[in-house]
């Protein structure tokens, strides 16, 4: 078992949405490795969630699976109440769940092919889900006058190397949502930040991305490779920890230097 790294996350209660696989599973496991108690949220794939829970427990943390549709206000409220009853509160929330999306540059929808419903679906999946989760957990955080919320966005908001119109627009809105929330919650000790990965491979959304495109993206990236799910976890843990206690409203780009600012 790995030793905790000094991030002071031992005993913290962490909710990671969409944690059954991919980036969410890597984030949940990384928190567990630091000794956190992790609520592994999932929508439908119970088997995948169980694998994440097992990985968290093997890494040295406590974890359990929590089934809830983050698009449902009542389901999210019930999830927050269940976690609070089980673990005594919620210290950290990672809004990772999003509306399923296929990252395929060759077969993406062009602007003329999109309907406003496509934008609305992505907005509901990104901002709507984060809104519902924050509404449910903030009373618990305010009670303790502390907390950290980390929202997963994308580097495409700064560098739309592929114009995924509806997806990127929704994630850009999530950045604005996060910064407004950071401004309001700072005085009560709650921080809100974002992590913006580049193309993360392999995940369910990127598994059909052509090798030629992946190679061209790696060639344009200073660190000459694509992000792995585990690469996203480190910055999330940093923003959740006391090491970033004087940071809020920020966006950390995790894309090997493709975006520099």
- Structure confidence by residue, pLDDT tens digits, 85-138: 999 999 999 999 988 888 888 889 999 999 999 999 999 999 999 999 999 999
- Residue 136 located in a structural domain: yes
Sheet of 13-16, strands arranged across: 62-67, 37-42, 13-16, 92-95, 147-152, 190-197, 251-254
Identified catalytic residue from 101, 164, 167, 201: 167
Tell me, yes or no, whether 180 lies in a domain.
Answer: yes
Q: Is 167 a catalytic residue?
A: yes
What is the pLDDT at residue 261? Answer: 86
Residue 233 lies in a domain: yes
Report the pLDDT averaged over residues 57-69.
Answer: 97
pLDDT at site 100: 84
Whether 71 is in a domain gets the answer yes
Q: Residue 7: pLDDT band by 50, 70, 90 thresholds?
A: confident
What pLDDT was estimated at residue 66? 98
8 inside domain: no
Q: Which domain holds residue 67?
A: 13-254
Please report, for the domain that includes residue 237, its CATH number. 3.40.50.720
11 has pLDDT over 80: yes
The 3 state secondary structure assigned to the chain is: CCCCCCCCCCCCEEEECCCCCHHHHHHHHHHHHCCCEEEEEECCCHHHHHHHHHHHHHHCCEEEEEECCCCCHHHHHHHHHHHHHHHCCCCEEEECCCCCCCCCCCCCCCHHHCCHHHHHHHHHHHHHHHHHHHHHHHHHHHHHCCEEEEEECCHHHCCCCCCCHHHHHHHHHHHHHHHHHHHHHHHHCEEEEEEEECCECCCCCCCCCCHHHHHHHHHHCCCCCCECHHHHHHHHHHHHCHHHCCCCCCEEEECCCCCCC
Give the integer Cα–Cα distance in Å for 37 and 22. Answer: 19
Q: 3 pLDDT band (50/70/90 cuts)?
A: low
Is there a domain that residue 183 lies in? yes
Mean pLDDT estimate for the chain:
94
- State the total domains in the chain: 1
pTM of the entire structure? 0.94
Q: What pLDDT is attached to residue 202?
A: 78
At residue 212, the pLDDT reads 85
Residue 208: pLDDT band by 50, 70, 90 thresholds? low
Q: What is the pLDDT of residue 136?
A: 98
pLDDT at 6 over 80: no
Q: How confident is the model at residue 210 (pLDDT cuts 50, 70, 90)?
A: confident
5 falls within a domain? no
In a domain, 205, yes or no: yes
Q: State pLDDT tens for residues 145-201.
A: 999 999 999 999 999 999 999 999 999 999 999 999 999 999 999 999 999 999 998
């Amino acid at each position: 078992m790995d030793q905790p790294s000094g991030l002071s996350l031992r005993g913290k209660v962490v909710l990671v949405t969409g944690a059954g696989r991919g980036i969410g599973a890597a984030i949940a496991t990384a928190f567990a490795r630091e000794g956190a108690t992790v609520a592994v949220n999932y929508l439908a794939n119970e088997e995948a969630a169980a694998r994440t829970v097992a990985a968290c427990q093997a890494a040295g943390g406590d974890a359990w699976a929590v089934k809830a549709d983050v698009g449902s206000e009542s389901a999210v409220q019930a999830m927050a109440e269940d976690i609070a009853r089980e673990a005594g509160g919620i210290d950290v929330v990672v809004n990772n769940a999003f509306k399923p999306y296929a990252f395929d540059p060759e077969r993406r929808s062009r602007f003329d092919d999109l309907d406003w419903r496509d934008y609305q679906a992505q907005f509901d999946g990104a901002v709507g889900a984060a809104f519902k989760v924050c509404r449910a957990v903030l009373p618990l955080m305010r009670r303790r006058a502390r907390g950290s919320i980390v929202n997963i966005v994308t580097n495409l908001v700064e560098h739309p190397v592929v114009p995924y119109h509806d997806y990127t627009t929704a994630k850009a809105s999530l950045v604005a949502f996060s910064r407004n929330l950071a401004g309001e919650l700072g005085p009560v000790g709650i921080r809100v930040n974002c992590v913006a990965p580049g193309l993360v491979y392999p995940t369910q959304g990127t598994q059909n991305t052509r090798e030629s495109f992946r190679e061209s993206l790696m060639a344009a990236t200073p660190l000459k490779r694509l992000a792995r799910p585990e690469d996203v976890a480190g910055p999330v843990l940093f923003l959740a920890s006391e090491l970033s206690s004087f940071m809020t409203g920020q966006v950390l780009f995790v894309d090997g230097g493709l975006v520099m600012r």
